[in-house]
Structure 1
Amino acid sequence: MALLQVSGVTKTYGPLKALDGVDLEVEAGSFHGLIGPNGSGKSTLLKAIAGAHFPTTGRILFDGGDITTMPPYQRARRGLSLKFQITSVLTELSVYDNVLLALQATEGYGALFRSRSRARLDGEVMAALERFRLAGRADDLAGELSHGEQQWLEIAMALAPRPKLLLLDEPTGGMSPEERRVTGELLAPIRRHCALVIVEHDLDFIKNICDRLTMLDQGRVLGTGSVAEIEGDARVQEIYTRRV
């Protein structure tokens, strides 16, 4: 059974149908990209999976359980994590404390009340910062990081609770070509323990890291397959040639 199964999902806002019968399957340990023109429904689908809003119709199964109408905090406890497009690190706290808080969010009230978690979690915090090339900035305020570094910090925070599935919405937006290249390198090792669903407009970036792609257009799935299959699809070529 796939880790994530989206079946016949629609999302309507009055007369607007943002999603129209979307089906999607993501296997454990795989990287799955969502592509398509602006307004095709990519971010809407990501938010439906994360619980930022509920589908109008259809079902979403995650790790064998129905999460269609489950609140976001319960989805997180089941192993689902999300990084939205707009960076939302705590700029007035240190880089270290941003990751620490992400880890403490999974702690019980007793451990937090006794303030025992900081020392116990120090190794995990520093390991996360090391993985994302931020260990040398641990004591700096998060607001002092570059845009790319803030994106890496937020990804580190999203991965801190060790989710089974990470959802990323345009993580390389505003990054330099070198930062985008590094981001791909930093994400590659997580497939050992975490699947990825990523929305990204940089086709070169997404093709380099993803196993499979799903093309959306006007809220519908236009095609799903390997990178080579999607690149060779005449309908996909028409959309990107004329409208992207």
Structure 2
Amino acid sequence: MTTLLDVRGLRKHYGPFTALNGVDLSIAPGEFHGLIGPNGSGKSTLLKCLAGAEIPSSGTVAFDGVDVSTLPPARRARRGISLKFQITSVLPQLSAYENVQLAAQAHAGFFQLLLSQVRHDTAVTVEQLLNQFRLADVADTPVAELSHGHQQWLEIAMALAIRPRLLILDEPTSGMSVEERRVTGELLSSLKRDGCSLLIVEHDLEFIRDLCHAITVLDQGEVVATGSVSEIQANQKVREAYLG
């Protein structure tokens, strides 16, 4: 099977503390992969190493066959990796439309933005994402006035504005109502037809059960298990480390 993301022997040390200890992770094109584990297991550190916010102490992160382990976030984004952290990073005084528009223009040069075709393509992308994530009705609303659920959907739309090949989400349903979580699952499932791979950190195994093809479990910076949902649920090490 072709591999889009290939992580091998990833380690991250902060002084004497080891946050990641030899993590391996592979994601195929179009695969939806869940990442779970107890608090402090190293999930957020792993995501930062994948996105370039942190440089691993050792090991490699390869994307589409290219070693990106030491590349800065912007260069990884241009290669097709997009990440949404748990903490929102929208511009609250701007409208939903303007936020997605800025995200879509992030990697375009000044002279590119002067071209009418580029402006047209950007507008089409923004409209498509607003419709896809149920934001069309609030497109002109300042983000500060949007519900928490709408703000989370907006950030996912912004992360997709650069048309990434791999979308990484850090607890996108945090703070959502039951109905908002259900809708979020439907919205993310729609990405499968676009061929975009997904790596999602989520505490709720039930949420990712019907969404992901495979799940990796971290505990104390190490991979406890990787497999299907049924395999993870039946794994005794996982039950001891995470499921209780």
What do the CA deviations read for 1:57-92 (whole angstroms, capped 9, x no partner)? Answer: 000100110000011100000000000010111111
8 Å contact kept, 1:11–1:20: yes
8 Å contact kept, 1:51–1:75: yes
What do the CA deviations read for 1:175-232 (whole angstroms, capped 9, x no partner)? Answer: 0011001001000121232100011111111222111000100000000001111111
Quote the residue 2:10 is aligned against: 9
Quote the residue 2:92 is aligned against: 91
* Higher mean C-alpha displacement, 225-234 vs 185-194: 185-194
Separation in 1 of the partners of 2:86 and 2:240?
A: 27
* 2:201 paired with 1:199: yes
Separation in 2 of the partners of 1:92 and 1:241?
A: 41
Query: Match for 2:230 among 225, 228, 232?
Result: 228
Quote the residue 1:156 is aligned against: 157
8 Å contact kept, 1:6–1:59: yes
What do the CA deviations read for 1:36-69 (whole angstroms, capped 9, x no partner)? Answer: 1000011111110000101000001001100000
Q: Which runs of 4+ in 1 moved over 3 A?
A: 113-120
CA change 1:144–1:72 in 2 (3 A) is: same
8 Å contact kept, 1:104–1:117: no
What do the CA deviations read for 1:91-140 (whole angstroms, capped 9, x no partner)? Answer: 11111011111111132210335787545522221111000000010111
Query: Match for 2:219 among 217, 220, 227?
Result: 217
Shift of 1:163: 0.3
How many equivalent residue pairs? 242
* 2:73 paired with 1:60: no
CA change 1:66–1:153 in 2 (3 A) is: same
Q: Which amino acid aligns with 1:169?
A: D
SS in 2 for 1:97: helix
Q: Percent identity?
A: 60
SS in 2 for 1:209: coil
Quote the residue 2:41 is aligned against: 40
Gaps of 5+ in 1: none
Gaps of 5+ in 2: none
* 2:27 paired with 1:26: yes
Separation in 1 of the partners of 2:116 and 2:41?
A: 46
* Higher mean C-alpha displacement, 111-120 vs 71-80: 111-120
Separation in 2 of the partners of 1:80 and 1:186?
A: 19
Separation in 1 of the partners of 2:138 and 2:217?
A: 38
Shift of 1:160: 1.1
CA change 1:75–1:132 in 2 (3 A) is: same
Separation in 2 of the partners of 1:29 and 1:131?
A: 18
Normalising to structure 2: TM-score of the pair? 0.95
